[in-house]
Amino acid sequence: MSQCLNPDCLNQNPPKTKFCQKCGSKLLLAERYRAVKIIGQGGFGRTFKAVDEFKPSQPYCVIKQFFPQAQGTQNVEKAAELFAQEAVRLESLGKHSQIPELLAFFTQDNRQYLIQEFIEGENLQQELEKVGAFNEAQILQLLNDLLPVLKFIHSQKVIHRDIKPENIIRRPNSGSGKKSELVLVDFGAAKYVSPNPLSVTGTVIGSTGYAAPEQAVGKAIFASDIYSFGVTCIHLLTQVLPFELFDVSENDWVWRDFLTAPISDNLGKVLDRMIVGATKRRFQSVEEILAVIQPDVVDVLPVQEQISNVSPSLSIREVDLSSEVGVTYHKLRDFLANQKWQEADRETTKLMFKITHSESKGRLSISSINNFPCTDLETINKLWVKYSNGKFGFSVQREIWESFGSQNFYLTFYLTVEKFGDRLGWHSIIGWTNYDNLIFDLEKAPKGHLPAMFAMSGSWVWFMELGKLFLAMAKRLQNCQI
């Protein structure tokens, strides 16, 4: 169907219709985005699930429409400002696999529109209602998955200001036992940090029950997000609304009274310190929390997830630098240990060329991938996975590649390669990225972004060969049980 965007109409039209059959309004935004259905609405606008008809694969996206109803001039002006700021925030955060990507921001028919990536999956509130209260292992995994995202956001001088279960979406996994990914959405309340945030009272915004006391009076700080995340955790642990978890007469949280299963003292103390009302007694940064919980994560998670989820200094064992062909990996290890990502990427390519005798060709062939020594492939991969905390590596790229399924038909394969490139940050709406424009930053780069140079030949004109190369790489990793 094709949903009319006229707030006074909202008629459902047949697919591919150019103009609304009821009011005559144009149905395509910016000649490419077609609304399918309403998925949310409030006093200042609506949100639609939509299709991007400009791209051959016609992927889903989200249209946010700003259309304030009569709520007073001052409120409307502030809402318009926040709507525009959401686009600025999303653009400033760039590409991050756990933050929706901003696709466009424009005005049409005197209404503002924001187009962003559509995140498939259920939010944690829906998950809670379906499967019941979370256990300790799930809360530790949630902290471990989302705290690095929060750390990245804060590093960009942005406070989210609306962390709650409804704004955390779990992408569905590939169906092959791969770990799903949590995405933090809705940056409509986000703001840049002022030089002296406690000295200026800002907008009072956020979800009641989850907003920190200082945020409720317009003085949000980084620790306000930590508070909201902590309240989110105790809600998921108890399946009880935040209002009922706080005893007003005692001015204290009583969330332990509502637990359906016991949790460790360590986790309890972490959550208590996340949700304490006094800001000076609360965790001041994400790094402080990670330093406390990561040993607990190692104890709780399955062994195969431990290496990718803890920091290098806490890794349970060193990587065996074995080689079937006598190659030395100490230089690569040192680059990665010191987070010199570009140097490590170049060293990886140099080693792969050496192992496959491809120095003179300057690129890897399908045959060289098919015959790449399993021991060396595993060593290189483990080094990347270990020192990137599970964000980079061949096995990470393989997981993303396989999430699109096995496609052999030429056109479908062409689209799969583009989707793969989009997810890794190697491709965008304007085309394929050259090597100089890659992101050599662990926090800013998308998941699976590196290593990359081994797959590039200086330009992306041969990107169909890239697809064939990764198809071969995925099969080789599978055969090597990596």
For the annotated catalytic residues, the residue numbers are 162
Q: Identify residue 332 by its one-letter amino acid code.
A: L
- The secondary structure of residue 392, as a DSSP letter, is S
Token pair recorded at residue 183: 């995405």
State the distance between the two ends of the chain, measured CA to CA, in whole angstroms.
43
- φ/ψ of residue 197, rounded to 5: -60, -30
Which residue pairs, CB below 8 angstroms and at least 24 apart, start in 417-422? 417/463, 417/464, 417/466, 417/467, 417/470, 418/56, 418/57, 419/57, 419/59, 420/467, 420/470, 421/463, 421/466
Please state, in angstroms and rounded to a whole number, the distance separating the CA atoms of residues 207 and 211.
6
Please give the order of strands across the beta sheet that includes 45-52: 28-29, 33-42, 45-52, 60-66, 111-117, 102-108
Token pair recorded at residue 410: 């030429």
* 3-class secondary structure, 426: coil
Among 147, 420, 137, 101, smallest CA distance to 263 is for 137
Among 44, 41, 9, 43, smallest CA distance to 27 is for 9
HSE-CB at 451 with a 13 A cutoff on CA atoms is 30
Question: Which value, to the nearest 10 degrees, does the dihedral of the CA atoms of residues 206, 121, 176, 309 take?
Answer: -10
Residue 396 in contact with residue 423, Cβ under 8 Å? Answer: no
Residue 392 in contact with residue 446, Cβ under 8 Å? Answer: no
Tell me how far CA of residue 454 lies from CA of 264, 345, 350, 358, 364, in angstroms.
45, 8, 8, 11, 7
Token pair recorded at residue 199: 């000295």
Residue identified by tokens 């009272």 is 201
